[in-house]
Chains A and B, each alone.
Chain A
């Protein structure tokens, strides 16, 4: 069907451009022959010297064959074959096949196939960019061959997008982490940033198990007290400032490449670059049409056992009596009185916790007559009958259950020299292990490109998804996770009348029933309809110039509603039912126009230059409302119209910011040895006043490819070595409000209206200053210095990348921390006073080797360590406090001279053992045997607030990710490990669990078993001595003291280090021959586990605890990630 031709004319190769016009005419006629050519070795060499020519030549190669009559018939024997990648079996197009010892050569076509003329036994050399050259011997008897090329060990030729343009990795002068996408997407997660954890050095990601929940993403540490989100760019579309949603909801199968720009080179993004840049490219179509189906299905498994280490009902009862004795609440006979456990020396578990208004019924009583039961406010007074669950209710596992997770993707791709397309559909359904939380996402992507003319390319990338993602307020005190800890085990899930069991009744705490809360939340919605993408056009002209225009952005329409029920089962019930609804849109676009110039002068001087102009526009709009007091709680009935207009609430918000930028960059290389990069950008933003509206940013970077020097040629064990450095000024505006420059007045019913007329139900309109403007606030100037090297050693098997950096955030935009007498009800402006500094190192290592033809393996290691330092903070105090809780005030102090996010409070020296101990210690409020003895930090003999100190650092000493893959014949095994070492966690859940007087909630076992006890109750309180001097918990008492839990102290602090096996999978690629008859080209099946093992000393549910940038690592009740087992299949048709 396809005749073979040989081109064997150097003249043609050189001069073909001259004949282009003629060729064009015949080209149409010869289209069928496109894949059937053979060219000589000489010709290839000529063409190779000029890559541009090569490309065009290949496009036109079919043409000259007949026209010039230079075609010879194929020789006696034709070897047909196919070139594939040894790693994944994908076809390799454009590989050069030469017959050793002759000048005959060929190039593999787009389906990887080639045909080459030879006679007798020959050795073929097959090479292709990115693969190791391979020689295969073909005996005379063999006419077909399949050549599997190994990916070249060095990644130096990889093309990396480094800001508006792309470079080969070896030419990069900046610090760029190139993510191994295969490793990344091997992690089954609902969000792309979770997959990125541990995949790039210098990138810290803290997520949670809550489906669809955002993660903390820090590039090279926390560099702001506010938003630290890096700039995300997907196919040239930039995220709105501080917004990670472009990355968050990417479908894993669409991701082609991910790069993280970490250093000053990101200055090409000017005011948006300082928090780092994550550049994602999605897949484009190429080659022959193919359809891929990828699917996995699995189960997320919850932690088993007594996860909160709770006491059982009898233990709680014993503890109640112990605390009463410790608090001297016994009568003359030593009896303790409890509403639930009766009066006596020993507690007796009740049969009913509550019946009507009576708590703690032992046996039966007339009050427990079920006919009295009523849990419906519409039917009269509430009358509950709640039996005690003496066996203990496992609240955690009533809410957290194994949950399925599945992802189904179909991708169709194809391409020709005229156009390419990729169309993908993805359905992700991650059910949360917590009842009624889930992420369902339906996504479609269409990426197309068209070569309109030889020099004009147009295309678009479009991603559309709809997601349905009800969540809980993760890591917030009192959320459903927290409540599973708070609920006493004696409380049943359901009461005698079939209603929810809860804390109504005496001595049962004040938690809401999480089962009731999450069950009632089942109709709540939180939906997003997102359209994102871009259109672009690119024109080559005047040989060396390319103009490109890109218009891209996001349209996020979100919508949700929630229904509140009037609860009856809790100690604290809401006053009414209610319904609220909200919707809004976030519209963001950027319009980028660039003109680039590429040329090589006199062989040695490579110049790539680019200038550009860009505008951005962000609007956020939201409306919402709520009503209360519904006639019926039927979800089909409640709407904003059907509630009572009395007490209705509505609101809206609108923000608009704009920006313009001009940008330029130049990359220069001399003899492929000396590299220099310069870039600059001038940004204008509407968030600043006229005086400071524009800011200039820029960077310089340089590299030296030492290994290309002649003197280095003899150093055999180093294959490549480049040292590089960069320095630049970048910025960040994520934390500046849209109206920062203005002093504004306004108000709302709640904040500034007042009932001057004494109506009790309506107010007179009033205003107040709402924001204090600052016209002087300007750009944050973040100076980033980076030195590093990239190298390949051991015969290109080991790639090493190392960076040392210093990120000095100067003029950090942060809210002024002025004295409150200025009236801090008006929002103080963001000012440029804070300074922060992170210094650190990033290391990336990749080692890969093939032991023999069956065994090969690859190890990738990413390591990042940084030291955070706050250099300055706005306001005279030099610190600000954050992470407030209702009960004990702030837990975190960000202060000059300290790392960001330090926990702050009293240090515990021990537990007072006796009166002598109290007397010998510094004066301390409420000091008594059994209570905490604090450290007298300032040695003034008394413990007061001057003795508070920095307790611990939530920043890890280092984080590291290890990716390991091994393949044996058709089997492959891979794993991803992640470790965060040296970070402290402030486990605030212990406030409720580990101190007896906290809300009579469920308590942990050590409160009973390891708390300090007096040896002899008959002694006066002050003279008590320890019955158990080694006690690690303070005495269980019914009152709260400065010297127990009245203040923040380091009892809560724990080592948060952990090592996690994020992913472990074993796969098998089925023999293609077997599949062929089913029309399947390739099939791989795999079994995978995620989060299989976590090694940590942390006592909470899970050590991966996020938070805000100014306070993270405080565990208020974090939705833990789950162990997941998946079965997956990947088919290509």
Chain B
């Protein structure tokens, strides 16, 4: 008996253990680790955190969406789609580096260019983060109507922004509101041309519901929404509405901290990360460095756009064009050559850094040039004198000039740059989505187009020019570590005789380029104005003549090149019954 007992004991114990284990249903219920469920977030604090999450994609990255080729395709500044395609800068670097930018630069890309997918993915990810805030907000029980209005307004501001960014580039995109989700399987939304008006509605809602002051400088307030709404009006050519709104903004607008909008005294300070969030910032994308994330919240999208070979790190992209550099030439009145009769000054193109080169010191130039275009022989912030081709990777593919506005000062290295990644180019320099100078110049346009006066428009333009004309803000010893600039600076204000009903728009457009060059507005401005074909064909010819290879034989195709094609993969993924709900843009 003893032995038999033993024989059965072990199997019995085993079975018993197993049954015990199996019966414990919870064995297969494994909770997710390191994540939150919707219940935890469906309250005021949780919804607020989701809203912050929606803000966090403003920096052009941060989610897995749109990262296949790196953050360059999705930068907040849209430098590929606006600055490079807009003829302010060359793709730069080496011909084959980020080759996908070249067809965009040449206004002739195909719908399969993966840069387009990435932009699309990243911006719609932002849209859905805003929507998710709205969705979870509806489940929260502890929010007052005021809380709901405020959160809704901020979320819709962000949703409007992400859509607008896409509309500028693609022209016609689906508008995705908070009812559209993966789970509901209702996401095949047509691009039926209604998005812009819905974006307008979002900004209008934000304008009507946001407070003028906010606890945090980085939040959108009423006036940021107003400025964005006005910008949308401008794109919709609702100039009268825009003009009215701009008038209100200029009269009453304040930053989120309640400081009245104004231009900072020195032009160069606008681009100094140490002086960010000034009264000039209407809405800026906040960038950080050294926040423990390995530079993930820095301005990564512009991370390639630094001189190549110098200490500022890497990669020689987004180098200003010949045309841009020379548009800063001024006439004897210190006014720009509105007829484009400026001459192309001799440049460093084709010269070795050891070849002698004397920078031009006789042609008068708008002082903003040396805060916008790094030229050989001229102080380059506090980095010393720009040495020429030793800071350029490949002149034939990039030209002789360097971008400047998003750079950091040498004295700021380590403070506003993040050392934890492979380049110093990941900086805490904010992207100015809308700054007050932009508002003034848009307002000037609206004055002319929307039933205002030429005089008022001129006042706005001169307001911008006056700040630029402040000698204390010129590139030189006071602002550039004791370095002396060889450039002959000259800038004058427009007068009634130089700013006329006939040339007012041209002057405003020109001013917009000089003031906002390299800031990611140019291409959509040209399209909005209807001047893209003329400007860009001339640009291509001029650049090719100067030796920039990528522009040889390139032309802008009216009716096609205005917008990039809807990404082919998105068209393919949006099929319903064999037909896509997305309509491809004309010409693609």
Q: Which residues of A contact B (CB under 8 A)?
A: 327, 329, 337, 339, 357-360, 453, 455-456, 504, 506, 510, 537, 539, 541, 547, 549, 571-576, 578, 591, 593, 595, 613, 615, 626, 628-629, 644, 646-650, 652-660, 684-686, 693, 738-739, 742-772, 816-828, 875-879, 881, 884, 886-890, 925, 944-945, 948, 991, 995, 997-1000, 1038-1042, 1045-1046
Q: For A945, list chain B residues within 8 Å (CB).
A: 110-112, 568
Minimum CB–CB distance from B162 to chain A (whole Å) comes to 11
Bound complex: CA A753 to CA B98 (Å): 29
Bound complex: CA A678 to CA B584 (Å): 55
Q: For A925, list chain B residues within 8 Å (CB).
A: 103, 108
Bound complex: CA A1001 to CA B171 (Å): 39
Please tell me if the beta carbons of A660 and B27 are within 8 angstroms of each other in the complex.
yes
Q: For A817, list chain B residues within 8 Å (CB).
A: 573
Q: A745-B37, A754-B286, A821-B176 are in contact. List 4 more A-B contacts (CB 8 A).
A: A537-B10, A649-B420, A761-B415, A997-B95
8 Å CB contacts to A: which residues of B174-194?
Answer: 174, 176, 180-183, 187-189
Please tell me if the beta carbons of A572 and B315 are within 8 angstroms of each other in the complex.
yes
Q: For B94, list chain A residues within 8 Å (CB).
A: 510, 997-1000
Q: For B95, list chain A residues within 8 Å (CB).
A: 997-998, 1038-1040
Bound complex: CA A113 to CA B540 (Å): 95
Option from B14, B288, B308 in Cβ contact (under 8 Å) with A763: B288
Bound complex: CA A686 to CA B65 (Å): 27
Please tell me if the beta carbons of B100 and A766 are within 8 angstroms of each other in the complex.
no
Minimum CB–CB distance from A321 to chain B (whole Å) comes to 14
8 Å CB contacts to A: which residues of B215-237?
Answer: 216-219
Please tell me if the beta carbons of A758 and B102 are within 8 angstroms of each other in the complex.
no
Please tell me if the beta carbons of A754 and B56 are within 8 angstroms of each other in the complex.
yes
B15 close to A (CB within 8 Å): yes
Q: For B29, list chain A residues within 8 Å (CB).
A: 686
Minimum CB–CB distance from A420 to chain B (whole Å) comes to 21
Minimum CB–CB distance from A944 to chain B (whole Å) comes to 6
Please tell me if the beta carbons of B547 and A329 are within 8 angstroms of each other in the complex.
yes
Bound complex: CA A595 to CA B7 (Å): 13
The listed residue with most B CB atoms (<10 A of its CB), out of A547, A657, A766, A997, is A766
Please tell me if the beta carbons of B99 and A758 are within 8 angstroms of each other in the complex.
no
Please tell me if the beta carbons of B114 and A889 are within 8 angstroms of each other in the complex.
yes
Q: A650 — nearest CB in chain B belongs to which residue?
A: B292
Q: For A629, list chain B residues within 8 Å (CB).
A: 414, 419
Q: A573 — nearest CB in chain B belongs to which residue?
A: B313
Q: A509 — nearest CB in chain B belongs to which residue?
A: B94
Q: A757 — nearest CB in chain B belongs to which residue?
A: B216
Q: For A754, list chain B residues within 8 Å (CB).
A: 52-53, 55-56, 58-59, 218, 286, 297
Please tell me if the beta carbons of B111 and A820 are within 8 angstroms of each other in the complex.
no
Q: Which residues of B contact A (CB under 8 A)?
A: 3, 6-8, 10-11, 14-15, 18, 21-22, 27-30, 32-38, 40-41, 46, 49-59, 62-65, 68-70, 94-100, 102-103, 108, 110-114, 117, 120-122, 124-125, 127-129, 131-132, 174, 176, 180-183, 187-189, 216-219, 273, 276-277, 286-297, 308-309, 313-315, 350, 352-354, 387, 389-390, 393-394, 396-397, 414-424, 428, 430, 547, 549-550, 552, 568-570, 572-576, 580
Q: For A572, list chain B residues within 8 Å (CB).
A: 308, 313-315, 422-423
The listed residue with most A CB atoms (<10 A of its CB), out of B52, B287, B387, B420, is B420
Please tell me if the beta carbons of A647 and B292 are within 8 angstroms of each other in the complex.
yes
Q: For B393, list chain A residues within 8 Å (CB).
A: 510, 571
Option from A649, A820, A887, A1039 in Cβ contact (under 8 Å) with B124: A820
Please tell me if the beta carbons of A547 and B10 are within 8 angstroms of each other in the complex.
yes
Q: B430 — nearest CB in chain A belongs to which residue?
A: A758
Please tell me if the beta carbons of B569 and A649 are within 8 angstroms of each other in the complex.
no
Q: For A575, list chain B residues within 8 Å (CB).
A: 313, 417-419, 421-424
Please tell me if the beta carbons of A1040 and B102 are within 8 angstroms of each other in the complex.
yes
Option from A742, A748, A816 in Cβ contact (under 8 Å) with B32: A742
The listed residue with most B CB atoms (<10 A of its CB), out of A747, A822, A828, A998, is A822
Q: B180 — nearest CB in chain A belongs to which residue?
A: A821
Option from A762, A771, A876, A999 in Cβ contact (under 8 Å) with B96: A999
Q: A745 — nearest CB in chain B belongs to which residue?
A: B36
Bound complex: CA A656 to CA B181 (Å): 28
Closest 8 CB pairs of A and B: A825-B63, A823-B128, A766-B52, A750-B296, A877-B572, A576-B419, A997-B95, A825-B125
Bound complex: CA A763 to CA B286 (Å): 10
Bound complex: CA A358 to CA B389 (Å): 10
5 interchain pairs, CB-CB under 8 A: A647-B418, A767-B52, A820-B65, A824-B125, A1045-B99
Bound complex: CA A693 to CA B30 (Å): 12
Minimum CB–CB distance from A596 to chain B (whole Å) comes to 12
Please tell me if the beta carbons of B297 and A749 are within 8 angstroms of each other in the complex.
yes
Bound complex: CA A889 to CA B99 (Å): 9
Please tell me if the beta carbons of A615 and B183 are within 8 angstroms of each other in the complex.
no
Q: For B188, list chain A residues within 8 Å (CB).
A: 819, 876
Option from A739, A752, A879, A887 in Cβ contact (under 8 Å) with B53: A752
Please tell me if the beta carbons of B287 and A750 are within 8 angstroms of each other in the complex.
no
Q: For B62, list chain A residues within 8 Å (CB).
A: 750-752, 825
Minimum CB–CB distance from B254 to chain A (whole Å) comes to 15
Q: A881 — nearest CB in chain B belongs to which residue?
A: B569
Please tell me if the beta carbons of A876 and B573 are within 8 angstroms of each other in the complex.
yes
Option from A743, A765, A991 in Cβ contact (under 8 Å) with B49: A765
Q: For A359, list chain B residues within 8 Å (CB).
A: 352-354, 390
Please tell me if the beta carbons of A1038 and B53 are within 8 angstroms of each other in the complex.
no
Given contacts A884-B114, A886-B69, A948-B112, contact A749 B35 (CB under 8 A): no
Option from A571, A649, A821 in Cβ contact (under 8 Å) with B174: A821
Please tell me if the beta carbons of A658 and B27 are within 8 angstroms of each other in the complex.
yes
Please tell me if the beta carbons of B181 and A822 are within 8 angstroms of each other in the complex.
yes
Please tell me if the beta carbons of B34 and A654 are within 8 angstroms of each other in the complex.
yes
Option from B69, B183, B422, B580 in Cβ contact (under 8 Å) with A574: B422
Please tell me if the beta carbons of A818 and B297 are within 8 angstroms of each other in the complex.
no
Q: For A758, list chain B residues within 8 Å (CB).
A: 216-218, 276-277, 286, 430
Q: For B33, list chain A residues within 8 Å (CB).
A: 654-656
Q: For B3, list chain A residues within 8 Å (CB).
A: 453
Given contacts A748-B293, A756-B55, A765-B49, contact A541 B11 (CB under 8 A): yes
Q: For B573, list chain A residues within 8 Å (CB).
A: 817-820, 875-877
Q: A612 — nearest CB in chain B belongs to which residue?
A: B18
Q: A547 — nearest CB in chain B belongs to which residue?
A: B11
Bound complex: CA A684 to CA B26 (Å): 12
Please tell me if the beta carbons of B352 and A337 are within 8 angstroms of each other in the complex.
yes
Minimum CB–CB distance from B562 to chain A (whole Å) comes to 18
Please tell me if the beta carbons of A820 and B121 are within 8 angstroms of each other in the complex.
yes
Minimum CB–CB distance from B100 to chain A (whole Å) comes to 6
Bound complex: CA A881 to CA B569 (Å): 9
Given contacts A575-B423, A628-B420, A647-B418, contact A823 B65 (CB under 8 A): yes
Minimum CB–CB distance from B464 to chain A (whole Å) comes to 24
Bound complex: CA A944 to CA B103 (Å): 12
Minimum CB–CB distance from A877 to chain B (whole Å) comes to 4
Please tell me if the beta carbons of B121 and A648 are within 8 angstroms of each other in the complex.
no
Bound complex: CA A819 to CA B554 (Å): 33
Please tell me if the beta carbons of A761 and B294 are within 8 angstroms of each other in the complex.
no
Minimum CB–CB distance from B460 to chain A (whole Å) comes to 27
Bound complex: CA A650 to CA B292 (Å): 8
Q: For B51, list chain A residues within 8 Å (CB).
A: 766
Option from B30, B296, B390 in Cβ contact (under 8 Å) with A656: B30
Q: For A769, list chain B residues within 8 Å (CB).
A: 128-129, 132
Option from B96, B132, B430 in Cβ contact (under 8 Å) with A998: B96
Minimum CB–CB distance from B339 to chain A (whole Å) comes to 31
Please tell me if the beta carbons of B54 and A768 are within 8 angstroms of each other in the complex.
yes
Option from A539, A819, A820, A886 in Cβ contact (under 8 Å) with B10: A539
Option from B11, B68, B292, B574 in Cβ contact (under 8 Å) with A884: B68
Minimum CB–CB distance from A198 to chain B (whole Å) comes to 36
Please tell me if the beta carbons of A823 and B417 are within 8 angstroms of each other in the complex.
no
Minimum CB–CB distance from B421 to chain A (whole Å) comes to 7
Bound complex: CA A650 to CA B114 (Å): 32
Please tell me if the beta carbons of B549 and A760 are within 8 angstroms of each other in the complex.
no
